């Protein structure tokens, strides 16, 4: 029997945007520098493998592979069986790493370059950061950060960053870019209560099930 994630309605587009760095519907914080591991970089092997979910009839998969460098390669596949789309399935290739902190476990990801070559040392690509946990060993729960919290942190001077909000060429632009160093960002993540960092409404998470 196929398991189904909670329907996200019009926010299904947002979930796609969340994973591919294209902020189409809702603003999501982007990070010039990502979280710094507490000690040395180390993969959380529990996250590796093939994960699948269904959102509004659209099957989606995430395949997560380990590198020797302790980074991850992530292949996100969507529109697998979407009858409303004639062009077939789509995929996005990302890379990143996992970090464990007092406030939880986090997946830090960014798009790979057009040639699908590693850009581990390329600082020109912004990161997205997601909280993750396991409701059991076969259920991966990905939660999204609170845009309001990071807008407030930047506005109050607790984190360096830029907020763009307004119309540009007839299009409303709302962008939050955190430019703080990895050290400063990690310090903030360590001091703030976990639930304050995360969005807390009906669109707060998406659940993937381990594909057997």
Summarised one tens digit per residue, pLDDT across range 40-81 is 899 999 999 999 988 777 888 999 999 999 999 999 888 887
* % of residues, the chain, pLDDT over 90: 39
Q: How much is the pLDDT for 136? A: 85
Whether residue 2 is contained in a domain is answered as no
pLDDT tens digits, one per residue of 168-206: 777 777 888 999 999 999 999 988 888 888 887 766 788
Question: What average pLDDT does the segment 134-157 reach?
Answer: 91
Assess if residue 4 is contained within a domain.
Answer: no
Handedness of CA 176, 184, 75, 62 (dihedral sign): negative
pLDDT at 114: 52
Per-residue pLDDT at 183: 94
Q: With respect to residue 40, please indicate whether it lies within any of the assigned structural domains.
A: yes
Identify the pLDDT of residue 123.
53
In the β-sheet with 171-178, what is the strand arrangement from edge to edge? 30-31, 171-178, 161-168
Neighbours of 50 (CB within 10 A): 16
Find all residues with CB under 8 Å of 199, minimum gap 6, and list them.
143, 144, 145, 146, 147
Residue 69's pLDDT is 93
For residue 136, tell me if it sits in a domain. yes
Q: Is residue 1 part of a domain?
A: no
Q: Is residue 51 one of the residues assigned to a domain?
A: yes
pTM (predicted TM-score): 0.81
85 vs 61, higher pLDDT: 61
Q: Does residue 3 fall inside a structural domain?
A: no
Taking 80 as the threshold, does the pLDDT of residue 116 lie above it? no
Average pLDDT, the chain: 80
Predicted local distance difference test score (pLDDT) of residue 199:
82
Predicted pLDDT of residue 32: 93
Rounded mean pLDDT, 116-144? 78
* In a domain? residue 190: yes
| Host domain of residue 128 | 9-210
Number of domains in the chain: 1
30-31 and 171-178 beta bridge pairing: parallel
- Provide the pLDDT for residue 5: 39
DSSP 8-state assignment for residue 26: S
């Amino acid at each position: 029997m196929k398991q189904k994630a909670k329907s996200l309605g019009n926010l299904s587009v947002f979930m796609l945007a969340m994973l591919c760095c294209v902020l189409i519907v809702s603003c999501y914080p982007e990070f010039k520098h990502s979280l710094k591991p507490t000690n040395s970089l180390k993969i959380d092997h529990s996250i590796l493998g093939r994960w699948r979910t269904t959102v509004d009839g659209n099957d989606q998969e995430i395949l997560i592979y380990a590198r020797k460098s302790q980074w991850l390669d992530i292949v996100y596949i969507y529109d697998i069986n979407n009858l409303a789309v004639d062009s077939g399935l789509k995929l996005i290739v990302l890379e990143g790493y996992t970090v464990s902190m007092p406030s939880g476990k986090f997946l830090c990801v960014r798009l790979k370059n057009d040639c699908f070559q590693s850009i581990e040392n390329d600082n020109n690509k912004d990161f997205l950061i997601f909280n993750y946990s396991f409701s059991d060993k076969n259920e991966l729960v990905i939660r999204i950060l609170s845009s309001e919290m990071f807008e407030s942190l930047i506005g109050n001077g607790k984190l360096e960053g830029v907020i763009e909000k307004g119309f540009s060429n007839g299009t409303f632009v709302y962008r939050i870019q955190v430019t703080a160093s990895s050290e400063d960002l990690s310090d903030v993540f360590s001091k703030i209560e976990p639930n304050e960092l995360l969005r807390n409404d009906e669109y707060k998470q998406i659940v993937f099930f381990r594909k057997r």
